[in-house]
Amino acid sequence: MEALVKLASLLPDIVGLLLTLAILLYLFIGDNALFRLVTYIFIGVVSGYITVLVLFNVLLPRLGSLLFSGDPVFMAVAGILILLGILLLFKLSPRLSRFGSLPMAILVGVGGAVTIGGAVCGTLSGQIGGTIELFNMRQGEGGNPLAGIYVLVGAVSTLAYFQFSTRSRSVTPVTEEEATAPRATALEVLAKIGQIFIGITLGAMFAGVYTAAITAMVERLGFIIETIFKFLE
């Protein structure tokens, strides 16, 4: 009886151990049925968790607050949102998918506007303001011009790296060699400098990813050892 109680208490750890071993098995024999099974379980659990979270923490509370607000305008807005949601479900059917184009267009448009607005107002404007602040030496404030120059050169040269067009000097049709004409010398130098900054950034990002992966692997190995010792006690 005590053995069964102990086994029941260790059941979550045993399940986690088996799932972890199934994932690590990919390192030795490559793709296999156990690895795919654990992957499907992971995707299913994550999808279910996100669905429940969005449904009960976002959609139902907000729609309920609009529907039962007593305000005709809010109730009409809730009705429109419900209608758009129903139309979006028509995307599941190839024959009726055209009815879901309107809510899909709204989603893409709003998502693009939010993304661009966040990038311009949150990232670009913040970086410009932070760079300007580095050159601020008034009234003994602690600026750092060297850091400002570094950030400014990095931002400008990185943007120059993604400039691929050249100015055409002729209105007549151009040949393939003319169409692939090199950029201006100053722009090409800036692009080379930007390539260095991009390489440094990608290297730092990959280093962070690999560090996180190694940390997760060490944690899983520690979990395996700890679970084995618990089972042998």
What pTM did the predictor assign? 0.59
Taking a C-beta distance cutoff of 8 angstroms, is the pair 155, 127 a contact? yes
| Helix or strand (DSSP H, E) at 217 | helix 185-232
Nearest alpha carbon to residue 227 among 18, 67, 3, 28: 18
- Per-residue pLDDT 10s for the chain (233 aa) are 666 776 677 788 888 888 888 888 888 888 888 889 999 999 999 999 999 998 899 888 888 888 888 888 888 888 888 898 888 888 888 888 888 888 899 989 998 999 888 888 877 787 777 777 777 766 455 567 787 788 888 888 888 888 766 555 555 555 555 555 566 778 888 888 989 999 999 999 999 999 998 998 888 888 888 888 877 77
How many angstroms separate the CA atoms of 10 and 8, rounded? 5
Q: How far is CA 6 from CA 1, 10, 174, 179, in A?
A: 9, 6, 80, 74
Cβ atoms of 34 and 22 within 8 Å: the answer is: yes
Domain boundaries, the chain: 144-163+178-233
Q: Which residues, 6+ apart, have CB-to-CB distance to 148 below 8 Å?
A: 131, 132, 134, 135
Q: Angle, to 10 degrees, between the axis of helix 11-24 and the axis of helix 185-232? A: 140
